[in-house]
Each structure stands twice: as C-alpha cells, then as structure tokens.
Structure 1
Amino acid sequence: MWPLSGRSSGPRALRQLLHGVDAVFFDFDGPVCDLFGKKPTAHIAEEIKVMARLEWGALDRDVEDCHDSHGILHRLRDMLDGTPAQRCREPLDEANTIVTRHEYDAVNSAVQAPDVEPLLDVLLDLRKRLVVVSNNAKEPVQRYLERTDLQSRFEAVCGRDPREPRRMKPHPDAVRRALTAVGGMDPAKALLVGDQLTDLQAAKAAGIRFLGYTQDRRRLRRMKQHGADGVVASHAPVLVAARALVDDYSCERRLQTESK
C-alpha cells in the first residue's frame, strides 16, 4: 500500500467531513467486502451471452464486447429497446437472475474489508445512520451481512433494481432510495463511501457528499479531479478520524457538565 500522506485526505479533513453528516452510505463490493476476490466477471457475462443468443439470435456488438457482469445488463437493456423488432424481455430478466446467482455464490467466500466493522461501530457511536447502496442485488448483500453479523449495523440495503438495470450507479436511484430509508434526509447531510467513479457520479447526481475508497492512484486522482470530498486508501484513517470525533464530543459534554 502506498503512503497516505500527500495523496489521500488527512485526519482533520476526514473529521470535518464526518462531523458534517448524519448518515453514511456504503457501497458494498469494495468498502464492505471484496466480493469476487478482485477477479474479473467475464465468465458471468459469457454465460449471459450464451443464454441471450438462444432467445434473441445475434447480439449487438456492444453486448458481445462487454465482459462485465453489471455492464452487460445495461447493454442488454439498450439492445431490447434499440431494435425495431418486438423482442421479449425474458433474456434480460434471466440475465439479472444469473448475475444474482453468482453474487449469492460469491458472498459465501467474500473477504471483509479491513477495519470496516470497527468503523461501523464508531459511526454508530456518533449516531450516524448507515445504509448499503449497491449495484449488487439486495438479497445477496443481506445474506453477506447476516453471515458476518453486520446486519444490525445497517438500517437498509438499497440494491440493484431487478427490472431496470439503467438505474444502477452512476444513476442516483439507489442513493435516493437510501435517503428515503433514513427519513428523507437533506442530501447535504449524507455521505457515500465508494470505490468507483460511478459511485462518485451517483453521489453528485443525488446531491450528497462523497468519500473515495481506493488504492488505485489513477482513480484517486480522477476522484479528486471530479469533486470527491475526500479520498482514502483504506478505512484506517477514517476510523482514526471517527474515534477523534467521539473524543471531541465526550470532551464537549464533560465541559458542559462542569460549567453547570
């Protein structure tokens, strides 16, 4: 891991960022766990193509060229809408089912992100409201949270819309649903922690703050260039900042008590 200093956000900036929000939303794959072990999902995309060819025949070139399990859902949706011939949507629905099945399989061996559990606990100590906002299907995410005893930390899971893949991030739909889940909170009081530029785009579109979570130097620079409120390479500095906030609040309460 490259050094944090001079590249990612420092403790003071992170403390100020956390102090200014009442809710923290977490992307799932990355900030909460490593879902597919950093392996490509081309095999999932290929399984979907084989199925779709049986129903639709020849596929559009952008579908054939896609090797990502989420990207192919979006491209199949475009193909469904972009042809003059009447096509059934069953392959699109089946594609979502295939992706969800692989997500269910992956959560059984997904590795938890370092420091995420203590970070969640400290954020709860700070009375932050926590929600998962993901392009993964809701049910596999919930299974992972149950398997790892993290389900009690989160108020809701806002996952992929199974009927409309165009609402995956960078579309702000899931972020807006998360805001509704925490009582229609002012977007300016919420923060999304995400590891992709699509997370940043969704956050900006929904009007909430964004903290990038990445060890990729190029992506870090691009997140900064595109207006991220902060970027970190791990949860460790965020945990330090959150614990400092707890100490700050404890000190304030103590001073208030002593002044009475």
Structure 2
Amino acid sequence: MTDTIDDQEALLPLLARTSAVLFDFDGPVCRLFSESTAGIARSIKRTAEAAWGSLDPDVRDCDDSHHVLRPLRHMYERLYEEQDPKRQPSCRPLEFAEKTVAAAEISAAADATRAEHIGELLPRLRKLGMRLVIVSNNAEGAILRALEGMRLTPQFEAVFGRDPQDARLMKPNPHCVRRALAHLGIPAHACLLVGDQVTDLTAARAAGTRFLGWTQDEIQAKEMERDGSDAVVSSHRPLVAAAGRLFEARQSAESVSGRAVPTRT
C-alpha cells in the first residue's frame, strides 16, 4: 500500500469536518454474499435473451447478479428507442431481474457478517455527534434485514437503497446519495461517504460529499487516490483509532475551557 493508506493524521482533520457519515453497505458494513452470484446472473441473462434476442456485450459478459442490472436496463432502453413504437420490447426481463436479485439479497441477508471493527467504529462516530446512514445499490429490504440480524439497526437512522424501478439510478449515479442528503439536511461538504468501489467515489463527487475509500486492493486504492479520494483505508482499524483520538482531544479541550478563570476587568 502507498504511504497515504491508513494514515491517521489524514483521517483526523477529515473526521473533524464531518457531521454525517454515509456508508456503502456491502463491503464497509458487512459481507452480504459468501458465494459467487454468477448462477443468478445466468438465469437473468437467459430470460433476457429469450425475450429480446442477442444480448448486448456488457450484459452477456457480466457474471455478477448485482452488476448486470444496470447494463440490462440500458439494453432495454436501447431496444425501446430502436424498435417500432407498436412493438416495444417486453419489460419482463427487467422485472424478473429485480425480483430475482432482491430475493437473493434478502436470502443472503440472513447470514450477513459484519465487517471487521465496524462494531467499534459506529458507536465512536456517534459519540462524536455524527449521524449515520446507508447509501447502497442493494435492495432496502435486504439491508434492513441484514442490519437487524447483525444487531446494527440502532446505529443507523436511515437506509437509502436501490430504486427497484430503474437500475440506471444505481451508483455511480448519485441518486441514493442525494436522497440521503435531502433527509439529513446537512451541506454535502460536511458529509463523508465511505465506499469500497470507484463507483462510490464517482457518486460522492457528483453529489458534492467527501470520500473515504475502504479497500484491501492496492490497485484500487491507487485508483481512488488518483481520482480524488480524501483518504483511503485498508480496514476500519485506523478509522476507529482516529475517532478515538478526536473524541479525547475534544474532551480535553472542553475540560480546559471549563477550568478557565475569567479575566477581571
């Protein structure tokens, strides 16, 4: 990793300027799927091919149930624009895809496992007065179920997940981030988005929030730095430590202020 990875000195001023933290879900908060979702993606693609014919390359080559949703929607829009208005493409593949992926996410939510140190991090951020929400490409129902199972529900005040009607609004589109900002009523520059993908960074930049990359992949970490991430961590450990240091510094400053003797005039 580069020298700026896990740098507590960079995290301290970042946290000091933060009023709310927006967490991506699958990755920074938990591990949702323990196995490949290629089988689900194949089922979705078979349904689309039966209804629409030959698949666009980005649909055909995608082996992830979650990532196939956006290119599938783009393919539908292309077909809709190109075909005779009297013979529009069936929307059944889109409906099947969303229903299938959401069901798989809800099923996986029952066995979701916490990200390491997230249980320490969230209370520390809240002690600093930060508001916590989730902004995710996952289905909201699955997120809520997973949070309940992991006993993390009280830590977050709101969840903003995938729009089931339009996969084009998934990140890197900033739609869910802007929904969160509207709920919080806090200026975007006072909010920090924690994400493990470059698409999270793109959404953060489009919405005007700051961004903390969370990744163990050195290449991806460098890409995040290159694209303007405010900081990058390989785990939550340095963030836990920085939040603790910031809280102690604030407590110390309040203590000194409380002991100050007014100057007589």
TM over 0.5: yes
In 2, the alpha carbon distance for the partners of 1:69 and 1:17 equals 35
The residue aligned with 2:11 is 14
Contact 2:113 2:150 (C-alpha < 8 Å) held by counterparts = no
TM-score, normalization by structure 2: 0.92
Output the aligned Cα RMSD.
1.4
Change (3 A) 1:10 1:87: same
1:64 deviates by 1.6
The residue aligned with 1:213 is 214
The alignment partner of 2:256 has SS state of helix
Q: Cα deviation per residue 1:8-44 (whole Å; 9 max; x = unaligned)?
A: 041121011001010001000100011113x432212
Q: Runs (4+) of structure 1 moved beyond 6 Å?
A: none
Q: Cα deviation per residue 1:138-196 (whole Å; 9 max; x = unaligned)?
A: 1100000111111111111110010110110100111111111212x110000000000
Q: Which amino acid aligns with 1:122?
A: R
1:246 paired with 2:243, answer: no
Q: Which amino acid aligns with 1:136?
A: N
Gaps of 5+ in 1: none
The alignment partner of 1:95 has SS state of helix
In 1, the alpha carbon distance for the partners of 2:2 and 2:192 equals 22
The residue aligned with 1:69 is 65
1:7 deviates by 4.4
In 1, the alpha carbon distance for the partners of 2:53 and 2:197 equals 33
Gaps of 5+ in 2: none
In 2, the alpha carbon distance for the partners of 1:5 and 1:73 equals 34
Number of aligned residue pairs: 255
Which of 71, 76, 79 matches 1:80? 76
Q: Which amino acid aligns with 2:66?
A: H
In 1, the alpha carbon distance for the partners of 2:19 and 2:51 equals 48
1:89 deviates by 1.4
Q: Which amino acid aligns with 2:49?
A: R
1:249 deviates by 1.0
Identity of aligned residues (%): 45
Contact 1:193 1:211 (C-alpha < 8 Å) held by counterparts = yes
